[in-house]
Every structure is written in structure tokens, then in C-alpha cells.
Amino acid sequence: MPTAWRLVRISLNARGRGFTYHLDRKQLKRSRRREGRYLLRTNLTETDPVKLWQYYLQLVQVEEAFRSLKSDLAIRPIFHQNGERIEAHVFIAFLA
């Protein structure tokens, strides 16, 4: 766990010659409860979390497909804002 330092409380001795430490069990319990969970922030007004999760998974699939397409075609990043321009850019790269 790369953030394990957050679970340990360290105290220096008064003379500065040593230290003591202990595990913050409350924080450990809190972090274990959150393990394997995602927090999705969205501006969509859909209230059904299952629907939002499906949208997120679709987005991941689209991004993966686009990433593999770009790597296969060896094209540069696309910074267009218009869908038609993006399609044209990919088409020209494919032709090249």
C-alpha cells in the first residue's frame, strides 16, 4: 500500500533521542472499508447509479478502442473539438 504512512502515528521523545509509533486502527478500518470502490463524479442528472456505472464502462471501452486505433495507425494526439474533424483526421491518417 503506497499510502501506508497515513496509518502510522509517530511521536518523538522529549529529548529527541528516540521515537515511538503506533498503528492508527481507526484510519486502517476506514481505508479497508473503501478498498476496491470507485468514486465517480459527473454532471449527469441520472440518479440511477447502475446507469451511471454503465456509462462509465462504455466510456472506458470507447477510449480503449480509440487508443488501440491510434497506436495501430501511429497517429499523433487529436485536439479537435468537432466530431467531423476528428473523423477526418483519423481518415487522413489511415490513408497515409
Tell me the pLDDT tens digit for each residue of 1-60: 567 888 888 888 888 788 888 999 998 888 888 887 777 788 888 778 888 888 889 988
- The pLDDT value given to residue 25: 92
State mean pLDDT over 58-75: 76
Q: What's the total number of domains in the chain?
A: 2
CA–CA gap between residue 84 and residue 19 (Å, rounded): 64
- The pLDDT value given to residue 14: 82
The Cα-based distances of 12 to 6, 15, 19, 27 in angstroms read: 17, 8, 4, 21
Where does the chain show beta strands of DSSP type E?
Answer: 8-12, 19-23
Residue 43 lies in a domain: no
Residue 40 lies in a domain: no
The boundaries of the domain holding residue 25 are: 4-34
